Amino acid sequence: MPHLIAPSILAADFGNLQRDVEMLNASNADWIHVDVMDGAFVPNISFGFPILNAVNKIATKPLDVHLMIEDPDRYIKAFAAAGAHNITVHYEACPNLHRTVQFIKEVGCTAGVALNPHTRVDLLKDIVADLDLVLIMSVNPGFGGQKFIENTYHKLHDIRSLSNVNNPNLLIEVDGGVDISNANKLINAGANLLVAGNSVFSSANPTDAIAQLKAVR
């Protein structure tokens, strides 16, 4: 399966958000990645339902909603209603992870689980068969523009090995410090869904930057 590209609108120009979403609509992007932060689970606050609703009215690509929040079960139904296609929660924020994953599916979304850089992949062995997506964080969550953590390649290999046995169709997403310099290595390590923020939106030509990431083999 060809890899997917999901530009993160956390790095977009919030003063020209409609322009940037329309650019993504016209680009080779496959999904639009939406980072939701609560200032508690991570030390930053980003957008919530009003912004997601606004983006959903403009976007023609599926919205990949990444909840970096405590107790995400409280809001899953509302994020689905606001237009989420995929909802990803953090392993570290969900003491009843299987129940949360089933809830995401019950509201009509595909279900993902994210792992922080320090969290071991093997902790997902009992639930990976039920997942649509695993997100490997290659930076500590909370802020864009951080330095890529090299151990990510080993974690991608580990989750790919786990999925080959238990869930061959699993989407393996990587988020943080992704750009044209490491995209090929990430794909070879097992990723098939790349989130790119600063490397797209700080580019002189974001559409070309997305096309280059999509063309990597």
Interatomic CA distance for residues 214 and 77, integer angstroms: 32
Two tokens, residue 103? 């809830």
Interstrand relation of 193-196 and 32-37 (parallel, antiparallel or unpaired):
unpaired
Set 35, 64, 132, 179: catalytic member: 35
Q: Look up 71 and say whether it is catalytic.
A: no
Classify each residue of 51-77 as buried b or exposed e, where b means 16 or more C-beta atoms within 10 Å of its C-beta: bbebbbeebebbbbbbbbbeebeebbe
Distance, in Å, from the CA atom of 122 to the CA atom of 208, rounded to the nearest integer, reads 37
Q: In what order do the strands lie in the sheet with 63-68?
A: 4-7, 193-196, 171-175, 133-137, 110-115, 84-90, 63-68, 32-37
Structure tokens of 85? 């296609």
Identify the bridge partners of residue 33 per DSSP, sorted by sequence position: 8, 64
Structural contact between residues 162 and 121, judged by C-beta atoms closer than 8 angstroms? yes
Active site residue 126: no
Catalytic position from the list 20, 30, 64, 175: 175
What is the distance, to the nearest Å, from the Cα of residue 24 to the centroid of all Cα atoms in its chain?
16
Catalytic residues: 35, 175
